[in-house]
Amino acid sequence: MGKDKLRKRDEIPAQYKWNMQDMFESDELWEEEAQKVVELAKGLQQYKGHLSDSAETLYEFFQKLDEINYYGERVYVYANQRYHEDTAVSKYQGYSAKADTISVEMSSATAFMGPEILAMDEALIEQFYQEKPELERYRRDISEILRGKAHTRSAEVESVLAQAGNMAVAPYNIYSMFDNADIKFPTVTDVEGNHIQITHGNFVSLMQEKDRRLRKDAFRGVYNQYKKRGNTVAAIFQAQLKKESFYASVRNYPSVRAMHLDTGNIPESVYDNLIETVHKHLPAMHKYMSIRKKLLGVDHLHMYDIYVPVVEDPGTKYPYDEAKEIVKKALVPMGEDYVSVASAGMDKDWVDVYENENKRSGAYSWGAYGTHPYVLLNHQDNLGSMFTLAHEMGHAMHTYYSNKCQPINQAGYLIFVAEVASTCNEALLMHHMMENCTNEVERKYLVNHYLEEFRTTLFRQAMFAEFEMIVHKKLAEGENLSKEALCQIYHDLNVLYYGPDMVVDEEIDYEWMRIPHFYTSFYVYQYATGYSAAIAFSKKILEEGKPAVDRYIENFLSGGGSKDPIDLLKAAGVDMSTPAPVDDALNVFEEYLDKFEKMC
């Protein structure tokens, strides 16, 4: 059942829609619960200034916090998922807006918690654990707050820092306004003489066009616009770097990187291992570029040649019902329990499959504690959509096991591990497809698809991470980070990562100016580490079988946020504090690259 024309929501058969009644049987019940959250938020005020009164009071507060988080999450998720089904429905637009307001009220109502716990004597907290053993359930929550003590300043300084928050968002807001509203790209002409206005939205698809002149024109058209505004963007970026440096200094961190990695208690060695290990495997990336050059039949490979497909899409169709059966088979190595839960979820209630008028674009997995996870898709009957299904079901199963095995305060997992389960599912699907593929054209396409995943998620994100590391280090050492200096750093990294067969065009020197992630410091490395951990897990699952699956499900998927991300992964058999997982993942890349070379 494909998508011939965009249907209205009520024209989609029920079996292809998620079941929101599993969360709330009616909108009226949602409205009642929304009001309940508002009342609960008001009720928390009675604990303000009293958390240190007694063990019983502190325990009671955390119990109330669990309650408000349970109902608040349900209210927020339901409102937004209903809104995403059809964004033109005014009722659910209103629900979504109301949920946002309630979310802010919840945050305000609990704002006193951190400062009060930080002000408590740690010996008193330990005494509370003895007096009220049930309080142990919240030890990790309390420990995470106390871990920030060394980086928390006096009440007066904290007040000033809070007031400075409106200024602190300025670099990102200015950049966002510049990049989304002010910068305008030229038009390019395709082979048929059509004029195409370049936008952020169509730039990547233009880079995938077969017409090389069109790619080159689009590439130059975009980067020349950044070049013209280079001094301005450099000044915005310098403001971002200096702002981050200011906060790291005021909060007693040795560096900006140390400050951001501390959020998940991630050792800085994880970051260094990623970059050093990727460097070790760069010859494989260079070899891939050499094969790409050969397949494109060009004398010189340019930066505008790296996204154009070098293998024809065989055009095999994967309608949802067929796609989900293939995904089920691909997940068989995960064991009976995992497959039966995932199968039931895909068959009914969890997944909203097809696009309809005004439905939110893209795909995600979401949900609220106490109800099964949900998955939003816009399935298109192609290979990419099947991989998206496997990916989002990985997120959903991670949430399912975490919610099943952890109390609400420990169920949520951090960004550092968020992409592991989803990418592991994709790797298992890729293995299954390769094992069962009889069509050589499709096999070659699959291998190339996998190599591109590695290039864009592991190599490219590691290059971004290295750029961030270099610029922050240079600023800390007092070096001048002019437009020219930033462009030179970025140019040299492209030379290093893409190798001797790549002509590193001058225009690519300005690419750092169009990466919004650089305004969320030291974030992108997690794409590369998460991808590496996922590939390492999939390899262990396929090679070791049940023992590896049991470790993965019991110690990682079921762990939620009960331990630091590094410890959760280590308990499941992947130690990200060593170079081994990145090394293992890149060895898989090299194996597939060898297969690809033989096919070519």
Give catalytic residue positions.
Answer: 392
Are 416 and 530 in contact, with CB atoms under 8 Å apart? yes
- Structure-token match 């462009």, residue found: 487
Q: Give the type of residue at 277.
A: T
Where do the DSSP E strands lie in 144-250?
187-189, 195-197
Q: How many residues make up the chain in this entry?
A: 600
- In a 10 Å sphere around its CB, with 0-12 CB exposed, 13-18 middle and 19+ buried, how is residue 486 labelled? buried
- C-alpha closest to that of 490 among 505, 479, 477: 505
Instruction: Report the C-alpha gap between 82 and 92 in whole angstroms.
Output: 6
Instruction: Report the C-alpha gap between 14 and 352 in whole angstroms.
Output: 9
Secondary structure of 95-155 in HEC code, one letter for each residue: HHHHHHHHHHHHHHHCCCHHHHHHHCCHHHHHHHHHHCHHHHHHHHHHHHHHHCHHHCCCH
Are 379 and 353 in contact, with CB atoms under 8 Å apart? yes
- Helix 282-296 / helix 268-280 crossing angle, nearest 10 deg: 50
Q: State how far the alpha carbon of 356 is from the alpha carbons of 60, 360, 383, in Å.
A: 46, 9, 20
The encoded tokens of residue 190 equal 């395709």
Instruction: Report the C-alpha gap between 330 and 319 in whole angstroms.
Output: 16
Bin 181: left if φ > 0, else alpha if -120 < ψ < 50, else beta.
Answer: alpha
**DSSP label at 39?**
H
Instruction: Report the C-alpha gap between 272 and 576 in whole angstroms.
Output: 11
Please calculate the CA angle 21-23-29 and round it to the nearest 5 degrees.
Answer: 80
Instruction: Report the C-alpha gap between 153 and 118 in whole angstroms.
Output: 10
Q: 189 - beta bridge partners?
A: 195
Instruction: Report the C-alpha gap between 142 and 131 in whole angstroms.
Output: 16
Q: State how far the alpha carbon of 152 is from the alpha carbons of 128, 251, 388, in Å.
A: 23, 6, 41
Q: How many CA within 13 A on the CB side of residue 452?
A: 15
Q: State how far the alpha carbon of 197 is from the alpha carbons of 201, 288, 513, 516, in Å.
A: 10, 32, 20, 21
Phi, psi of 230 (to 5 degrees): -55, -40
The encoded tokens of residue 553 equal 């499900």
The 10 Å Cβ neighbour count of residue 590 is: 16
Are 444 and 596 in contact, with CB atoms under 8 Å apart? yes
Q: State how far the alpha carbon of 567 is from the alpha carbons of 142, 417, 539, 555, 576, in Å.
A: 18, 11, 20, 9, 9
Instruction: Report the C-alpha gap between 3 and 75 in whole angstroms.
Output: 32
Q: How many CA within 13 A on the CB side of residue 586?
A: 26
